[in-house]
Amino acid sequence: MARHYFGTDGIRGRVGQPPISPDFVLLLGQAAGRVFLRQSKTGKACVLIGKDTRVSGYMLEAALQAGFSSAGVDVVLCGPIPTPAVAYLTRALRLDAGVVISASHNPYHDNGIKFFSAEGRKLPDEMEEDIEAEMLKGFSCVESHHLGKARRLDDAAGRYVEFCKSVFPSDLDLKGMKLYLDCANGAAYHVAPAVFHELGAEVVLEGINPDGFNINDGVGATHTDDLLERVAKAGADLGLSFDGDADRLIMADNQGNLFNGDALLYVIACDRIFQRNKKTGVVGTLMTNFALEKNFARKGIEFARAKVGDRYVMELLRSKGWLYGGESSGHIIALDRQTTGDGIVSALQVLTAMCAQKKTLAELTQDLKLMPQVLINRPIEKGFDYKADADFTAEIEAVQKELGDRGRVLIRPSGTEPLLRIMVEADDEKLARTCAERIAGALKA
């Protein structure tokens, strides 16, 4: 069956509107609980629930907990914690599943639900289909003596801090380094400062005062237009910017350079393959800058593209048996360190390369010249088929023909928002912008 509610990164939407409403989430928790119980070898199941800092998290957490309990599933509550922390703790505590209440980089009025398996990986499509099939059966509470119980894991953040520190080599430290941390008023607000401070860095903090409404509000990995200025004002060596649930990372240095996920993936992969003799290829997405692919080819590193979405990067990594992958947006996966994209862990892998090789981030990326990419988002209604717009598709074909081998066009509906993403990549930024605006202008209102 086709998935109706699950997108590329769980279920997401506007709070109070289906499917992000208490009644839906209650039923979702119960349906997921029945699926997890079926897969349990003991006939019992326990799930872990974490959330970001949105005000709606209180409401959805209560509904989700009630749903699991009504299915006979025990619950461990972590409170605000990064998405990758849920993946780690689910695996470390040998639980049956982990659930995150978060809409990642979206504004506070959105929220979402995403699941992790017992191994700390995003659920496969088939399991999400099973959950939706269970939802169609409606609500059915177990008898009282079978109800699930709930407890709170008070040291969840501390456990995750220690895990993050463990992925940084014990013979290295960050002493003498000044880092500017932008935690997006999100789930990393109380975790990231501790990790980098305890490894020896001096930290300057931004976005660590969440109030339920200011998550991703002008800060975080999707608001980096002034990150260079903020890093300079702080007198920092490097700036690290995370998104609301801390699975994305964008970095900046004090030399005026901004480093997106492509550049950071390049640093990590090259360090692992050439400095630490890891035999592996690298996975990007359709959005990955073409310069990355060309540089890997010159270095003899295999490279493959997946559909946009970290779950698809993960699927391709696993099918090929490779270790490193990521997206331009800052989702980076290092399977020898973590089972999912992790902003803090990714930052520590970049810092490992810098410290071990005694080079700046600019020096580590000096041979990588990214091609300019221009991305324009256009709001669309759910189910909109842009391929049926003859004028729009004709303009796409005309632009691609004019670009020739100087660039490429990528059009795709967002998997998490009601947007059509129009991306043009070219060897000249002005050309890329002009082409992107032409295509966007041809789209019917």
Buried b (16+ CB within 10 A) or exposed e, 396-406: beebeeebeee
The C-alpha atoms of residue 92 and residue 120 are separated, in whole angstroms, by: 9
Question: Over the stretch 231-269, which tens digit does the pLDDT of each residue have?
Answer: 999 999 999 999 999 999 999 999 999 999 999 999 999
Q: Are residues 98 and 163 in the same domain?
A: no
Contacts of 299 (CB under 8 A, 6+ apart): 270, 274
- Which of 205, 239, 257 lies at the terminal end of a domain, its last residue? 257
Q: Are residues 134 and 211 in the same domain?
A: no
Task: Evaluate whether residue 107 is within a structural domain.
Answer: yes
Is the pLDDT at 110 greater than 80? The verdict is yes
Task: Evaluate whether residue 2 is within a structural domain.
Answer: no
Q: Are residues 133 and 168 in the same domain?
A: no
Q: Are residues 32 and 92 in the same domain?
A: yes
Task: Evaluate whether residue 3 is within a structural domain.
Answer: no
Contacts of 108 (CB under 8 A, 6+ apart): 54, 55, 56, 212, 213, 214, 215, 216, 217
| % of the chain beyond a pLDDT of 70 | 99
Pairing state of beta strands 202-206 and 238-242?
A: unpaired
If pLDDT is split at 50, 70 and 90, which confidence band does 2 have? low
Number of Cβ within a 10 Å radius of residue 15: 19
Whole-number pLDDT of residue 138 = 95
The domain tally of the chain equals 4
Q: Are residues 217 and 272 in the same domain?
A: no
If pLDDT is split at 50, 70 and 90, which confidence band does 3 have? confident
Q: What angle do CA 180, 184, 188 make, to 5 degrees?
A: 80
Residue 288 is classified by DSSP as S
- Which of 211, 242, 257 lies at the terminal end of a domain, its last residue? 257
If pLDDT is split at 50, 70 and 90, which confidence band does 382 have? confident
* 334: its two tokens: 């290092």
For residue 147, what are the CA distances in angstroms to 29, 73, 84, 179, 197?
Answer: 13, 7, 28, 47, 43
Q: Are residues 320 and 226 in the same domain?
A: no
Whole-number pLDDT of residue 1 = 52
Q: Are residues 82 and 123 in the same domain?
A: yes
Q: State the angle between helix axes of 22-39 and 56-71 in degrees (0 to 180), rounded to the nearest 10.
A: 40
Q: Are residues 407 and 335 in the same domain?
A: no
Domain that holds residue 104: 11-154
Task: Evaluate whether residue 4 is within a structural domain.
Answer: no
- Asked whether 87 and 338 are in contact (CB, 8 A), the reply is yes
If pLDDT is split at 50, 70 and 90, which confidence band does 392 have? very high
The C-alpha atoms of residue 407 and residue 134 are separated, in whole angstroms, by: 46
Residue 142 is classified by DSSP as P
Q: List the catalytic residues.
A: 104
As a whole number, the mean pLDDT across the chain is: 95
Task: Evaluate whether residue 179 is within a structural domain.
Answer: yes
Q: What is the CATH number of the domain that holds 36?
A: 3.40.120.10
At 418, which amino acid appears? P
Question: Over the stretch 225-235, which tens digit does the pLDDT of each residue have?
Answer: 999 999 999 99
Q: What is the CATH number of the domain that holds 420?
A: 3.30.310.50
Whole-number pLDDT of residue 444 = 79
Q: Is 394 exposed, middle or buried (0-12, 13-18, 19+ CB in 10 A)?
A: exposed
Task: Evaluate whether residue 55 is within a structural domain.
Answer: yes
Q: What angle do CA 353, 355, 359 make, to 5 degrees?
A: 80
Whole-number pLDDT of residue 9 = 86
Q: Are residues 127 and 40 in the same domain?
A: yes
Q: Are residues 95 and 60 in the same domain?
A: yes
If pLDDT is split at 50, 70 and 90, which confidence band does 381 have? confident
The C-alpha atoms of residue 445 and residue 432 are separated, in whole angstroms, by: 22
Is the pLDDT at 101 greater than 80? The verdict is yes
In 257-375, which ranges are continuous DSSP H helix? Answer: 261-270, 290-298, 310-320, 343-357, 361-364
Question: Over the stretch 156-166, which tens digit does the pLDDT of each residue have?
Answer: 999 999 999 99
- Which of 334, 364, 394 lies at the terminal end of a domain, its last residue? 364
Task: Evaluate whether residue 131 is within a structural domain.
Answer: yes
The C-alpha atoms of residue 27 and residue 36 are separated, in whole angstroms, by: 14
Q: Are residues 188 and 224 in the same domain?
A: yes
Task: Evaluate whether residue 6 is within a structural domain.
Answer: no
Contacts of 134 (CB under 8 A, 6+ apart): 30, 31, 32, 34, 35
Question: Over the stretch 7-66, which tens digit does the pLDDT of each residue have?
Answer: 888 999 999 999 999 999 999 999 999 999 999 989 999 999 999 999 999 999 999 999
Q: Are residues 29 and 143 in the same domain?
A: yes
The C-alpha atoms of residue 102 and residue 92 are separated, in whole angstroms, by: 21
